[in-house]
Amino acid sequence: MTTTTPPAAIGTQATEPRSTRAARVGRRLNSRIATLVAIVIAIVWTIPTFGLFVSSLRPEAEIKTTGWWNFFSNPEFTLENYQDVLFGQSSSSGQLANYFINSLVITLPSVLFPLAFASLAAYALAWMNFRGRDWVYIGIFALQIVPLQMALVPLLSFFSRGLSLGGVTLMPAWNLDGAQNFAQVWFAHTCFALPFAVFLLHNFMSQLPKDLMEAARVDGASHPRIFRTIVLPLIAPALAAFGIFQFLWVWNDLLVALIFAGGSEVTAPLTVRLAELAGTRGNEWQRLTAGAFVSIVVPLLVFLSLQRYFVRGLLTGSVKG
Amino acid sequence: MNFDFADQAPKLMMLLWGLVAFAVVVGGLIVLLDAVPAFFARHREAQLVAASVSGSPPPRRTKPREGLFALFFLLPTVLLLLIGLVVPAVRTTLLSFMDSGSQNWVGLDNYRWMFAEDAIVRVLLNTLVWVTLVPLVATAMGLLYAVLVDKARLESLAKSLIFMPLAISFVGASIIWRFVYAYRDEDQEQIGLLNQIVVSLGGAPRQWLLDSPLNTLLLIVIMVWIQAGFAMVVLSAAIKAIPADIVEAARLDGVNPWQMFRQITLPSIRPALIVVVVTISIATLKVFDIVRTATNGNYDTSVIANEMYNQAFRYGENGQGSALAVFLFVLVVPIVIFQIRNLRRQRREG
């Protein structure tokens, strides 16, 4: 190799061993094929959503009789589907504006509560010394694997009948009605989120520099003070990661909402209403397409604007319960 | 317009109450945690002053009570986990040995029912198909795509396209794909993309979601569509973490891209691969929304989580529903043990 390579060109040629034309052509061909395959996958992945979006903007008669790809040869554009599905008068039209508010009311506290409780717990587990600390952590960690299906039936009966152990009432029945049922959903989502939240935040917190903590202790700062003034600002990215995670999870959840929010228009979120529409009016595509987009748009915005944090959260390696 | 803000007032009030409760609980906890140590500090100071005045030896300094503090930090979490997860899980296990009204013990009847009833065996088999295909295909697609777009132009845009379905709810995704699978009679124009493709290739349109077992595979496509983005992101990060000098050395040796992939990339990202497969497997075992929205579990497409919901919350069969939930848990456990062992081995090797 050295005998054939002129010394002046070593810098560029050394990395390409005896790079003949055939090899170079081969590599370029390879990268062409690679690009092509990647583009094909990207198209296949994007086109279903795109088709639905285009459809949601077409008039009802068009959606039901011709494929959405006809939109490009015969563009007819309307926002009527959105108007109808969000604010329509008839009971079959969706009234999604109503359910949109429900989704919001469900989601906000369901994100805030686990975030606060888990960061407190994670701090204790990472930086306080007490007996049995590791065992508590392992216990919470292990709870991640309990499928939430395991908790549904008894939790629902706790809400309606309360919890008593050997005749002692530990928690009275909640007896909620109307909008108060939101509390059940918040409670359920908070419980189900905690193991993963503690795990994720503990991972971040335990990586904070030990010197920093010890210096603060030596200065006489108490634990609550360290937690508020030092730890919370430092783990803000982790809080964001979990916040987005939990937001998407709650907003997109169907199972917990079905069971604890019920199907009434007072408390049911968008997902429940959409699933219902898809079940009873599966061919009303003008409503389903627009409705699906109404439900998608908020998580998509959150996701696209905060993708960085979300990815970081994912990369911590997780098993969501 | 049917949208009246007066109708929304009680809900928004409830939201306000929720936020107030949040502020009171969390704020209260923090204030309490601040005030109590301050009180003890003052108390001790007073003791010291009193001791120095009277000339008696100062009281022995009590140890800092970290345990007490930790208790307050942990209290909300531990309490909620006990009420919301631990106790219910134990109760579900007990319920699975009782009859539908949770009155009498029936031993293993519910489990026997699970494996004897043809419809339920079908459900178990479907779940098996899901949990073998989804992790495999989704991970393979994610890996392929991650390798293809690595260091390509517009990489982040290309990744966002695949990643986006992850933000879409399973319900939304199911509607998106039901539209792809939509069916019109042969003499009408097709509105579903899949049937249009079939027709333009000269075939006859089909009711995709009614034909078993093909319909299960088509539902699996939806899950793969969602999870491939997750696999891609994690694996792409793992690929980027491979040390550049290893890749460079291999290139100097003149390996071709395939050898590079087999001998360098794949071994280096093995841990990430395992995490991805395990995570997707667990998510797949619990899949519920897709089946419910797309077919409602009809036409032989039901899976465990869906059947569990039907038994417990539609038919009022608490015993059978609980047995299915317990079985789901039993299926998850070995996967998790496998992962924990792997993590341990890595740590020992690292």
Q: Given a cut of 70, is residue B65 above it in pLDDT? A: no
For CATH 1.10.3720.10, the residue range(s) in chain B are 113-171+212-349
Q: What is the pLDDT of residues B180-210, one digit of tens each?
A: 998 888 888 888 888 888 888 888 888 888 8
CATH 1.10.3720.10 fits B113-171+212-349, yes or no: yes
What pLDDT score was predicted for residue A91? 62
pLDDT-above-90 percentage for chain B: 20
Q: What is the pLDDT of residues A163-193, one digit of tens each?
A: 666 666 666 777 677 777 888 899 999 999 9
Q: Using a CB-CB distance cutoff of 8 angstroms, which residues of chain A are in contact with residue B333?
A: 145
**What's the rounded Cα separation, in Å, for the pair A147 and B85?**
9
Residues of chain A with pLDDT under 70: 1-29, 89-94, 163-171, 175, 263, 282, 316-321
What pLDDT score was predicted for residue B323? 92
Q: What is the pLDDT of residues B112-125, one digit of tens each?
A: 888 888 889 999 99
Report the gap between the CA of B105 and the closest CA in chain A (Å).
17
What pLDDT score was predicted for residue A168? 66
Point out the residue among A35, A154, A315 whose CB comes nearest to the CB of B234: A315
Query: Angle at the Cα of B126 (from B121 to B127), degrees rounded to 5?
Result: 95
**What's the rounded Cα separation, in Å, for the pair A290 and A57?**
8
Q: What is the pLDDT of residues B210-232, one digit of tens each?
A: 887 889 999 999 999 999 998 99
Q: Does A256 touch chain B (CB under 8 A)?
A: no
- The DSSP line for B275-304 is HHHHHHHHHHHT--HHHHHHTTTTTTT--H
Q: Using a CB-CB distance cutoff of 8 angstroms, which residues of chain A are in contact with residue B312?
A: 152-153
Percentage helix, strand, coil, to 5, in chain A? 75, 0, 25
Residue A67, token pair as written in the block: 């494929």
Q: How distant is the alpha carbon of residue B336 from its chain centre?
A: 13
Helix or strand run (H / E) with residue A170: strand A168-171
Report the gap between the CA of B57 and the closest CA in chain A (Å).
24
Range picked from B124-133, B247-256, B312-321 for highest mean pLDDT: B124-133
What pLDDT score was predicted for residue A15? 44
For A109, residues 6+ apart whose C-beta sits below 8 A from its C-beta are A182, A186, B15, B18, B19, B21, B22
What pLDDT score was predicted for residue B274? 86
For B153, residues 6+ apart whose C-beta sits below 8 A from its C-beta are none
| CB-CB under 8 Å, B66 with A182 | no
Report the gap between the CA of B215 and the closest CA in chain A (Å).
16
Per-window interface: A 290-319 vs B, CB < 8 A: 291-292, 295-296, 299-300, 302-304, 307, 311, 314-315, 317-319
Which residue from A minimizes the CA distance to B343? A317
What pLDDT score was predicted for residue A241? 85
Report the gap between the CA of B143 and the closest CA in chain A (Å).
11
**Banded model confidence at residue B1, pLDDT cuts 50, 70, 90:** very low
| CB-CB under 8 Å, B336 with A178 | no
Which segments of A206-284 does DSSP mark as H helices, in order? Answer: 210-218, 223-226, 232-234, 236-252, 255-260, 270-280
Q: What is the pLDDT of residues B153-187, one digit of tens each?
A: 788 888 888 888 988 999 999 999 998 998 888 88
Q: Given a cut of 80, is residue B40 above it in pLDDT? A: no
Q: What is the pLDDT of residues A37-82, one digit of tens each?
A: 889 999 999 999 998 888 888 888 888 888 888 888 878 888 888 8
**Helices B155-163 & B214-240 angle (0-180, nearest 10):** 150
| CB-CB under 8 Å, B19 with A109 | yes
What pLDDT score was predicted for residue B64? 56
Question: For residue B98, what are the β-bridge partners?
Answer: B105
Distances (CA, A) of B255 to A14, A251, B265: 14, 48, 12
Distances (CA, A) of B184 to A59, B208, B313: 18, 11, 34
Helix or strand run (H / E) with residue B178: helix B170-180
**Banded model confidence at residue B254, pLDDT cuts 50, 70, 90:** confident
Residue B92, token pair as written in the block: 């579900």
Least Cα distance to A259 among B308, B324, B13 occurs for B308
Point out the residue among A149, A178, A225 whose CB comes nearest to the CB of B305: A149
Q: Given a cut of 80, is residue B15 above it in pLDDT? A: yes
What pLDDT score was predicted for residue B56? 65
Point out the residue among B76, B88, B172 whose CB comes nearest to the CB of A150: B88
Distances (CA, A) of A311 to B230, B303, B316: 9, 30, 41
pTM greater than 0.90: no
